[in-house]
Amino acid sequence: MLFRMKKITGLLSFILLAGLGHSQNKKSPVKTETIHTRKGDITATYRGKTLLWEISGNGLKHPSYLFGTMHILCADDARLSSNLKSIIKDSKEIYFEIDMDNMAELMGAMKYLRMNDGVKISDLLTSAEYERVKDYFEKNKAILPFSMMNRFKPYFVSSLIGEKMMTCEKKNGMEELIMRESKQYEKPIKGLETTEFQASIFDSIPYNKQAKDLLAYIDSIDNYRQITHEMIDVYRDQDLERMDALMKKSDPGMESYMDLLLYNRNRRWVKLMPSIMQEGSFLFAVGAGHLPGDQGVIKLLLRNGYTVRPVENSN
């Protein structure tokens, strides 16, 4: 469940949990790895504990940058490093998963929250199961009446649970901080995806499975609360390798949807990025879970001939 919500982030990032935050950059051993590319094997050397990466080479006149975000976290953990602030200042444009500066786009996402064909969560669960879900949200003071959420896609309803697991009163998101920093330089904000595209991902997974996963999430809430806290700790440590392992562990039933939720999206972005980067220096700020792994954005860029190196990301 937690893994899945780390994958579909932009559509709901203005109201829910889904990515990962910022902290002191702890040193880690330098790693050397052979990356298989279309032009032959290359040796990539990098230090793994950072959320900020420079993209260069392969004909680029100016470097661009990749940063792993967390959409909602405790405000005390949401900080921009001096290097990231400098990159924001010098970037031509900033790309998020979706255009976070377009309120029409964001508010338009609301029309995609309901299931198609009038389906309701109560249609997908037994009466007893539905009551367990309903009781949870009523006892935990959901932001909307559950009678309204009954029409929503269950994965969206699941995402509302994640934010409640964060005990801090004041919350913030890395995208919000980046946007606030960029405003003083009047930097254009753009998106790699649209809300309509992201909504289609919800519709590609059977509603029945989504409803059963929502029920399982609530029935195992203490376990997911522990995983949420562990994930935030991993983000603070900027440990992408451990993050990748934890995300796979947290949602073992989603293997068949990995391409849909994560890998295909990574590949689409890496196809879009080259033509964008030819125009100058850009910052791509996407959910941190998209960066690591064999099919993560970092290795996909390496395979496409770019040099991707870590950048210090501590205060």
The answer to whether residue 213 sits within a structural domain is no
The answer to whether residue 237 sits within a structural domain is yes
The answer to whether residue 153 sits within a structural domain is no
The answer to whether residue 74 sits within a structural domain is yes
The answer to whether residue 300 sits within a structural domain is yes
**Total of domains in the chain:** 1
The answer to whether residue 126 sits within a structural domain is no
Report d(CA 93, CA 221) in Å as an integer.
40
The answer to whether residue 183 sits within a structural domain is yes
Q: What pTM value is reported for the model?
A: 0.86
Domain encompassing residue 235: 2-111+165-202+225-311
The answer to whether residue 182 sits within a structural domain is yes
Q: Give pLDDT tens digits along the chain (315 positions).
A: 443 444 444 444 333 333 333 333 444 455 555 555 555 665 555 556 899 999 999 999 999 999 999 888 888 888 999 999 999 999 999 999 999 888 887 777 788 889 999 999 999 999 999 999 999 999 987 778 898 999 999 988 988 887 777 778 888 889 999 999 999 999 999 999 998 888 888 888 999 999 999 999 899 988 888 888 888 899 999 999 898 888 766 665 566 677 888 899 999 999 999 999 999 999 999 999 999 999 999 999 999 999 999 999 987
